[in-house]
Structure 1
Amino acid sequence: MKSEGTSKKKLKKALKTSTAVVLLTTAVLSVIYRLPLCFESQNPAALAAAAFTLTNGEYKLENSKAEKPTASDQKPTESADTEPVAEKNHKRDKSTYYDSYGNHDGENKYTVEERTIGDTGTQVDNCFVKNKTGLSLDFDGLLSAKLPFSIDKGINSPQVLIYHTHTSEAYLDEDVDFFYDSFYSRTNNNDFNVVAVGDALTEQLNKRGIKTVHDTTIHDESYNGSYDRSVDTVYKNLEKYPDIKVVIDLHRDAIGTDENKVKPVFTYNGKKGAQIMILAGCDTDGERGFDCWEENLNFALKIQDKAETLYPDMTRPLNFDYFAYNEYVCNGSLLIEVGTESNSIDEATYSGSLLGNAIADVLLN
């Protein structure tokens, strides 16, 4: 009986030992399996999250619950004094457009020159006006005058219209200092033309609580008659949305030669943007049917000054001259050019967002 009891004790001891060995071996193998996965992540935090605790011969993965975001992790609140929150850019489709890094064998290569254009003309508060009319105007008085219209914060109807007379005006696909023969700065691919900038502007105005409609109708299948076609689009929108107070025709400019293009840039918070230029027309003799030109100029000056206050060097001097384009449709109608064809699409859309913030400040003041 004694020997039988001893045998049972030995067997029990052996089973315990075997169990412990199996558990320990399993734990070690699990650690060996998990560690390479952690190192593949190239993230030290992943190593900490994958740490194992060995207790009582058992293993378990530490519970890595999602931590509450810190103040620096949370999405900042947008205000007049901050840069708009940039949304993650979607992947743009170059398959129907130009690719700076594509195959350009046999093509001539030309240059893109960066410049910051400003500080010329008549200074008005924080901004500059290039007065091409020869008129002696009190620009400071116009800037300080009350805006001739107001945004109604209590309605849920569009009060701003964004459209494009030259809808196919496009930008470079990348921030580069060169371009090839095959670069043609017009496209109906809305990932790379002024429609993308209009989207950014519209999004920012809507974020600031100003309901905005963006009409992307193509008006420039032919340059001839494009303004006649686009003003028809404007009137259709004004009829559909009678609360519209602001009408912006968004373009892009072109500076330089066929072999040396110029892109106007500025930098804000370490990020490069395309300079904008506001065009405000004049009609002193009534030939253009543009009776509200001084009120439009008031609006233009306010946007120009606000943009320069918030984002220094964002604007080229305001272009004030004898023209009307479609600005006669209402006293809040302007033509604004964002960058040139040699600015990158990212620079242009960034400026579209900043412009939206500046316009919102003027309208909500």
Structure 2
Amino acid sequence: MRLLDRIIRAVLLVCMTVLSGYILIRAVTIAGENGVFQDTPLLSAFYRKLETYSEQLFVPVLYYDEATQVWQQDLEAGVRQTMIPFAWYADRLGEESRQNEPDEEYELILEAEAKAEEQKQPLDLQEWMVSRKQTEDTQKEESENESTQGSREEEFATLLNAYFSMDAATTIDSSRLNNSLLDMDLSLDQTEGPQILIYHSHSQEGFTDTVEGDDTTTIVGVGDYLTQLLTEQYGYEVIHDRGVYDLVDGVLDRNVAYDYAGAAVEKWLEEYPQIQVIIDLHRDGVDGKKFVTEYQGKQTANLMFILGMSQTADHQDITYLPNPYIKENTAFALQMQILAERDAPGVMRNIYLMAYRFNLHYRPRSILLEAGTQLNSLEEEKNAMNVFAQILNKELKGSR
């Protein structure tokens, strides 16, 4: 109906315009032919202007603008613009308004009418439009969520493949491993008193040149050296717990070592609640394997962070081993891993994910650090501590 109305309106305007134009142009032409405008050049020029303006005003579709060499081809627009300017202006406003919103609303109305006809019952237009808007919003939100989830899965795959190895007994997903870990600020808060605690759940771990009965040549001695670096070179206050937690009545028993070590950590935290970093320092034990690389011309034991996920391979939380700081621990290890690969490439092995907790639940910046294996030397171990102290300092100073 809207198209038919426009056609009828256009035809009527054309007829009125052509008739009026014809009368005026014919009158001007007859007057010109009878010589009315030929007496003087001024009247002759006036005649030509009058003839041109008459054509342009009343028959715009037939008027050819010699200056711009353009025909006015929109008959209805041209006639309305010249003869009925207010009506043309009103149409122009209506067209702009329809471009902004009503066209879309008109389509919705048509859709609602079709829906009502299909259902053979009246349809509350306002209620239907609100419902339609809610549906569209829901679909948009689901689409955005799918896009975000897709991005998270890509981040997860990239980080996992680049920096991690995972034990078959556990798992991790994109909710725990994504780029948000890289943005976490784990720099050290300035406090008085000890800031870092170093201890050894397995104090009896030794190396190729360990002297029996001399703990300065075991992993405990490596902890002594790390403590010295952090205090003398980097200015931290450090507690080094040299306690033995893996011997029971003189017999090696590592099954209870984490329980005994955990009880000791709790006592230290009770005495010094300002402690913010906890490091359980180990050396790895792999049959026939020696992990070593050359760094700055020195033979250096490879380092590895271990993280406890408190989760089984089928995504089930180990409820009796809760850890509220898994995200912070993971970020702490990942950020230092990236730092080390930038500043000391080749020193770090992949971060190893395991199912249990390993006493990493006491502070947000808790880490289990494996340095070399039983086939490394004490010197290689100490060289590795130089690298670790350097990256730990950068992490705690926020100078990544």
TM-score (normalizing by structure 1): 0.58
Alignment match of 1:321 (pick from 345, 351, 354): 354
| CA positional deviation for 1:233 | 1.1
In the alignment, what sits opposite 1:200? 225
Alignment match of 1:234 (pick from 258, 265, 271): 265
In the alignment, what sits opposite 2:338? 305
In the alignment, what sits opposite 2:116? none
Q: Provide closer, same or farther for how the CA distance between residues 219 and 122 of structure 1 changes in structure 2, counting only shifts above 3 A.
A: farther
In the alignment, the residues of structure 2 paired with residue 126 and residue 359 of structure 1 have an alpha-carbon distance, to the nearest angstrom, of 23
Alignment match of 2:172 (pick from 135, 142, 158): 135
The one-letter code of the counterpart of 2:359 is N
Alignment match of 1:217 (pick from 243, 248, 261): 243
In the alignment, what sits opposite 1:152? 189
In the alignment, what sits opposite 1:58? none
| CA positional deviation for 1:123 | 5.5
Contact 2:192 2:274 in 1 (8 A): no
| CA positional deviation for 1:145 | 2.4
In the alignment, what sits opposite 2:285? 254
The one-letter code of the counterpart of 1:124 is L
Alignment match of 1:273 (pick from 300, 303, 323): 300
| CA positional deviation for 1:131 | 3.2
In the alignment, what sits opposite 2:215? 190
| CA positional deviation for 1:283 | 2.7
Q: Structure 1, residues 222-265: CA drift from partner, whole Å, max 9, x if none?
A: 32311111111111111121110111100011112xxxx21101
In the TM superposition, 1:1-365 aligns within 5 A as 124=159, 128-132=163-167, 133-137=170-174, 139-147=177-185, 149-153=186-190, 155-173=191-209, 187-206=212-231, 207-221=233-247, 222-223=252-253, 224-256=255-287, 261-284=288-311, 285=317, 287=319, 288-365=321-398
Unaligned runs of 5+ in 1: 1-120, 174-184
Contact 1:283 1:291 in 2 (8 A): no
In the alignment, the residues of structure 1 paired with residue 211 and residue 246 of structure 2 have an alpha-carbon distance, to the nearest angstrom, of 10
| CA positional deviation for 1:352 | 1.4
- Higher mean displacement: 314-323 or 121-130: 121-130
The one-letter code of the counterpart of 1:128 is Y
The one-letter code of the counterpart of 2:173 is S
In the alignment, what sits opposite 1:23? none
The one-letter code of the counterpart of 1:244 is I
In the alignment, the residues of structure 2 paired with residue 134 and residue 186 of structure 1 have an alpha-carbon distance, to the nearest angstrom, of 39
In the alignment, the residues of structure 1 paired with residue 309 and residue 330 of structure 2 have an alpha-carbon distance, to the nearest angstrom, of 8
Question: Structure 1 vs Structure 2: percent identity of aligned residues?
Answer: 31
SS in 1 for 2:322: coil
Q: Structure 1, residues 77-129: CA drift from partner, whole Å, max 9, x if none?
A: xxxxxxxxxxxxxxxxxxxxxxxxxxxxxxxxxxxxxxxxxxxx965399521
SS in 2 for 1:340: coil
SS in 1 for 2:236: coil
Q: Provide closer, same or farther for how the CA distance between residues 213 and 240 of structure 1 changes in structure 2, counting only shifts above 3 A.
A: same
In the alignment, the residues of structure 1 paired with residue 215 and residue 364 of structure 2 have an alpha-carbon distance, to the nearest angstrom, of 29
Which structure dedicates a bigger proportion of its chain to helix? Answer: 2
Unaligned runs of 5+ in 2: 1-155, 312-316
The one-letter code of the counterpart of 1:167 is S
SS in 2 for 1:234: helix
Q: Provide closer, same or farther for how the CA distance between residues 297 and 187 of structure 1 changes in structure 2, counting only shifts above 3 A.
A: farther
Q: Structure 1, residues 119-148: CA drift from partner, whole Å, max 9, x if none?
A: xx965399521134343326451441213x
SS in 2 for 1:216: coil
SS in 1 for 2:290: strand
Which structure dedicates a bigger proportion of its chain to strand? Answer: 1
In the alignment, what sits opposite 1:80? none
Q: Per chain length, whose mean CA-contact separation is higher, i.e. which structure has more relative contact order (CA < 8 Å, sep 6+)?
A: 1
In the alignment, the residues of structure 1 paired with residue 297 and residue 159 of structure 2 have an alpha-carbon distance, to the nearest angstrom, of 27
SS in 1 for 2:371: strand
The one-letter code of the counterpart of 2:244 is I
SS in 1 for 2:307: strand
In the alignment, what sits opposite 2:104? none
TM-score (normalizing by structure 2): 0.53
**Paired residues, what number?**
228
- Once superposed, what is the RMSD of the aligned Cα atoms? 2.3
| CA positional deviation for 1:191 | 2.5
Moved over 4 A (4+): 185-188
Contact 1:280 1:334 in 2 (8 A): yes
In the alignment, the residues of structure 1 paired with residue 222 and residue 372 of structure 2 have an alpha-carbon distance, to the nearest angstrom, of 10
